[in-house]
A and B are shown apart, each in its own frame.
Chain A
Amino acid sequence: AQKITQTQPGMFVQEKEAVTLDCTYDTSDPSYGLFWYKQPSSGEMIFLIYQGSYDQQNATEGRYSLNFQKARKSANLVISASQLGDSAMYFCAMRVAGGYQKVTFGTGTKLQVIP
């Protein structure tokens, strides 16, 4: 079975500073993908970044980067230069090749950016 753990229910960060949101995962499948989604208060789920289990380099997308440590089974999201619009719920998620299609979500971290 696959499992995603997000241990930070809530985080605060000062505007313009960087913040790291933690995510650990567990799977026995060697082929998997890790994702981060942002969910503002309006409710839509917005894809942020993807990391494949065989990728040698950490993924980056603009201000978002994924700190992938395979041996530790962690996939932390780093947001640089936080903006007020970054205030939202953030979900870490995983999909495995051997799984039957579904993506497993963590419980989420609520990030609040302080002016």
Chain B
Amino acid sequence: DAMVIQNPRYQVTQFGKPVTLSCSQTLNHNVMYWYQQKSSQAPKLLFHYYDKDFNNEADTPDNFQSRRPNTSFCFLDIRSPGLGDAAMYLCATSPPGHLVDYGYTFGSGTRLTVV
């Protein structure tokens, strides 16, 4: 089945130690997104890629970076995780935005703990 896969499902990292979360998709969707979701809150968009074009949200901290080496893979790098970065990180994909009847396909998420 076509899907979006996030690894790992749970990640524990030390305060200040760089960490990378990964996302892969078999849907061949142009657009990939990274969302941060803290407890009992709505997902917050960090950035997205339209093909290779990177789009950063204005309020995304510089501590968060992303890479998309090819259509299938996208990575979220947190350069120096702080306690406030503990959250669920959701990867999603979609076809281009003019196709409004397509929402997102989400991965199962990575729950990040910072110790």
Contacts and interface: CB of A to CB of B under 8 A. Distances in A.
Contact of B90 (A33, A45, A47, A93): A45
Interface stretch (A64-72, A74-82, A100-108): A100-108
A13 interface: no
B23 interface: no
Interface string B37-70: 0001111010010100001000000000000000
A100 B43 CA distance: 17
A96 B100 contact: yes
Interface in A42-66: 42-47, 50, 52-53
Interface size of B as a range: 20 to 34
Given A97-B98, A102-B45, A35 B103 contact: yes
Interface residues of A, number: 30
A10 to B, nearest CB: 10
A43 B100 contact: no
B87 to A, nearest CB: 10
Interface string B12-53: 000000000000000000010100000011110100101000
Contact of A103 (B41, B88, B104): B104
A32 B100 contact: yes
Nearest to B44: A105
**Which interface residue of B92, B101, B102 has the most chain A CB atoms within 10 A?**
B101
Given A43-B109, A45-B90, A108-B42, A101 B103 contact: no
B7 interface: no
B108 interface: yes
A50 B45 CA distance: 21
B100 A52 contact: yes
Given A35-B103, A95-B97, 7 more contacts: A43-B109, A43-B111, A47-B104, A53-B100, A96-B100, A97-B100, A101-B50
Interface of B: 31, 33, 40-43, 45, 48, 50, 55, 88, 90, 92, 94, 96-98, 100-109, 111
Interface of A: 31-33, 35, 37, 42-47, 50, 52-53, 89, 91, 93, 95-97, 99-103, 105-108, 110
